Amino acid sequence: MTTARTVPVTTEMDGDELDAEDAWHLARRHGLRHVVVSSFVRFRYGDGFTNSRALALQTCLAVVPFMLAVTGLAADIDDDRWARVVAATVNAIAPGQGTNDALAAAAGGSERSGEIALTFGLLFALVSMTTAMAQVERGTNRIYGIRRDRPALHKYGRAAVFTVVLAAPVGLGFLLLVGGGAFGDAMVAEGVWTETAEDWWDWVRWPLGVAMLVFAIAVLLDHAPRRRQPALSWLALGSGTAVALSAVATGGLAAYVSLSASFSSTYGPLAGVFVLLLWSLLSSMAFFYGAAVCAQLEALRAGDDQPAYDDPGRPHRQTV
C-alpha cells in the first residue's frame, strides 16, 4: 500500500494545463537537488521498487516471445537476403548464447514453422505487454498517491488499447536504439547498403529512437494514472528523465559486460538472460522514477512539499 501523498490535480488560473515551461520554472525555484531527492522519496514510498520488479518481469515475458515472432518472420520471408538481415539482427540482440538458432531458422526453417513461430510469438508478446501496461497503471497510481486502480475490465481494456497504439513507437524505438547497429551491419554485409548509408543510419537512428521512446512514455504518463494529467510537454520532462536514466543504465551494463573478464564464464549460456533481466529492472526503475518526477513537480506546484506521509510507527499492541 502506497504512503506517498496524493497529488492534487492542478491547472493554471486561466484554466490552461501546466506545460514544460511551468515544470522548468518549478525546478529552478525549488532547486534541482530538492526535486531529485523528493522525487526519489515519492518513488520509494509509492512502491516504486515493487512495481519496477513486476514490470521488469512482464517486460521480459514480452521481449522473448517478440524475438520468437521476429525469428518466425525471418523464416517466412521469401527473399533470402532480407531473411538473413532480420535473422542477423535478432541474433545480435536476443538474450542467451544459443541465439544462432535464429540464423538456422531463417536459413532452413520451413514456411509452416515460420508462420507458427510468428503467430504464437506475437500472441504471447501482446498478452505480456497488456499485463505490463496494466502494471504501469498500478505503479503510476501508487506514485501519485492513488490507492485504487480502475475497475478490472476498464483497466485491462485500456491496457490492451495502449498495447496496440504504442506497440509501433515502443518497438521501433527499442529496435533503433538496441538493434539498430546490428541491422546496419547486416544491411552492409548483404550488399543492400553502402558504408556511407550505414553512417547516415547511425546518425539518424539515435535521435529518432529517443524521440519515439520519449513520446511513448509521455503518452503513457498522460493516460495511465487514474487522474487528469498536465500537458504532454510537462510529462515529457519525466519521460525524458526516464529515457536518460535508462540509457545510462544500459551503457553502464554494456560496459560492465564487455570489460568484465569473468562475466561470460560465470554465467555461461545464461549470461544473455541475466543481462536482459537486469536491464529490464533498471529500465523499469527509470520509468517509474520519471513518473515520480512528474508527480512531485505537480505536488510542488500545489504547495505540498512533502512527498510522503509521516511515519505512523509500529502498530499499537491490542489485547483481544
For the chain, what is the domain count?
1
Q: What is the pLDDT of residues 48-90, one digit of tens each?
A: 999 999 999 999 888 888 877 777 776 667 777 887 888 777 7
List, in order, residues 6 or more apart from 264 with CB less than 8 Å away. Answer: 257, 271
DSSP for 95-131, please give it.
Answer: SSTTTHHHHHHHHH--HHHHHHHHHHHHHHHHHHHHH
In a domain, 59, yes or no: yes
Q: What is the pLDDT of residues 238-272, one digit of tens each?
A: 999 999 999 999 888 888 888 887 777 777 777 77
List, in order, residues 6 or more apart from 186 with CB less than 8 Å away. Answer: 84, 85, 88, 89
The pLDDT of residue 75: 67
Residue found by looking up cell 551491419 in the block: 185
- Domain span including residue 233: 20-301
How many residues are listed for the chain in this entry? 320
In a domain, 319, yes or no: no
| Cα(169)–Cα(146) distance, integer angstroms | 28
In a domain, 258, yes or no: yes
In a domain, 184, yes or no: yes
> What Cα–Cα distance (Å) separates residue 57 from each residue in 184, 281, 282?
30, 8, 12
Which grid coordinates belong to 118? Answer: 510468428
Which grid coordinates belong to 280? Answer: 529490464
| Cα(228)–Cα(215) distance, integer angstroms | 18
In a domain, 4, yes or no: no
The pLDDT of residue 83: 78
In a domain, 89, yes or no: yes
Rounded to whole angstroms, the maximal C-alpha distance in the chain is 80
In a domain, 224, yes or no: yes
List, in order, residues 6 or more apart from 190 with CB less than 8 Å away. Answer: 81, 84, 85
Q: Which amino acid is at 213?
A: L
In a domain, 118, yes or no: yes
**What is the mean pLDDT for each group of 10 consecutive residues in the chain (320 residues)?**
86 70 88 94 95 94 80 71 79 60 50 68 88 96 95 95 88 83 86 86 89 91 92 90 92 84 77 85 96 94 88 76
pTM over 0.85: yes
The pLDDT of residue 54: 96
